[in-house]
Amino acid sequence: MRTFTNVQDLGDLKEAVRDALEIKKDRFSLKHLGENKTVMLVFFNSSLRTRLSSQKAAMNLGMNTIILDINQSAWKLETERGVVMDGDKSEHLLEAIPVIGCYCDIIGLRSFARFENKGDDYSEIILNQFIVNSGRPVFSMESAIVHPLQAFADLITIEEFKPKPRPKVVMTWAPHPLVLPQAVPNSFADFMNEADVDFVITHPEGYELDTQFVRDANIEYNQEKAFENADFIYAKNWSPFRDENYGRVINIDRSWTVNTRKMSLTNDAYFMHCLPVRRNMIVTDDVIEGPRSIVIQEAANREISCQVVLKRMLKSL
């Protein structure tokens, strides 16, 4: 595996989930595979789970890890080609990337949507520069429009908890005060469309996601109707994808917050969220603390999804 940005990169998805569940039974069985190999985790944005789980997955495989927090400890980077660099940026990404590649064997990259230019975000310019110029296998740790390690961990979690062979999975938009990327819902839709699930997306008008990810998923604008018979409720905020409102918050309607009454409409559904979550905006305290909340198990599976990816990348070196 040379890149990990979408569900197709995993090949046979059922096989990938089997691989993950095998690793989970004994995560140290390949502890020599990564000997003398280094993964560089490059962060342009904050992280708790991705940082820790990727490092742990690498340790399980016997790898070394270097973490680079670009904005805290490196030179300020210019990302635009052709710019006269007479401002506060000391180095260009086009030199920084191949230099980073010199010191490692695999690269993980976190680089959120910047909401300056939708075309730049949706062409993944930073991630693609790493893929093209680093000379190393590259995996997204949430880039501008995808977060595949999260979606893969979500699928593993659904496989572990599903009460029937083809569960109903509902991804619901929920309110948040800030402009958040579409990466998590995009990748979740990407994976659910390939999984054996009945997949429904519910959101207010104006929050339609990119059709390249939504594909043939069912869209239901009535949240309560969408919740009926659901086996999993996957909550997430995202900002509008549509051109006219790209990079803006247009709705913080708390009638979309997931609460106990809405959960009672479901088939005793499990509650999922990628975290970090804002309580009583996205979900009430009682739901996230309740017995059907599996947010911690979901976070734990981030170690496993990353280990599958690192294992496959190590084997391709």
Task: Return the number of the residue (63 or 151) whose C-beta is nearest ligand CP.
Answer: 151
CB of 262 to ligand AN0, least distance (A): 21
Look at residue 183 and give the partner it binds from ligand CP, ligand AN0, none, a contact being a CB closer than 5 to 8 Å depending on partner kind. Answer: ligand AN0
- List 146, 149, 184, 310, residue binding ligand AN0 (CB under 6 A): 184
Residue type, 304: I
CB of 141 to ligand AN0, least distance (A): 10
- List 2, 3, 30, 47, residue binding ligand CP (CB under 6 A): 47
Closest residue to ligand AN0, based on beta-carbon distance: 180
CA 39-157-297 angle, 5° bins:
80
Q: Confirm or reject binding of residue 249 to ligand AN0 (CB under 6 A).
A: no
Q: Confirm or reject binding of residue 226 to ligand AN0 (CB under 6 A).
A: no
- List 6, 143, 150, 307, residue binding ligand CP (CB under 6 A): 150
**Residue 37: Cβ within 10 Å count:** 18
Report the residue count for the chain.
317
Closest residue to ligand CP, based on beta-carbon distance: 50
CB of 166 to ligand CP, least distance (A): 26
Q: Confirm or reject binding of residue 183 to ligand AN0 (CB under 6 A).
A: yes
CA gap 107, 94 in Å, rounded: 15
Look at residue 177 and give the partner it binds from ligand CP, ligand AN0, none, a contact being a CB closer than 5 to 8 Å depending on partner kind. Answer: none
Q: Confirm or reject binding of residue 50 to ligand CP (CB under 6 A).
A: yes
- Tell me, residue by residue from 142 to 161, as one string, x for binding to ligand AN0 by CB under 6 A and - for no binding: x-------------------
**Residue 150: Cβ within 10 Å count:** 27
Interface size with ligand CP, residues (CB under 6 A): 9
Task: Return the number of the residue (48 or 132) whose C-beta is nearest ligand CP.
Answer: 48
Task: Return the number of the residue (88 or 116) whose C-beta is nearest ligand AN0.
Answer: 116
Task: Return the number of the residue (227 or 310) whose C-beta is nearest ligand CP.
Answer: 310
Residues found near ligand CP in the complex (CB under 6 A): 47-50, 142, 150, 274-276
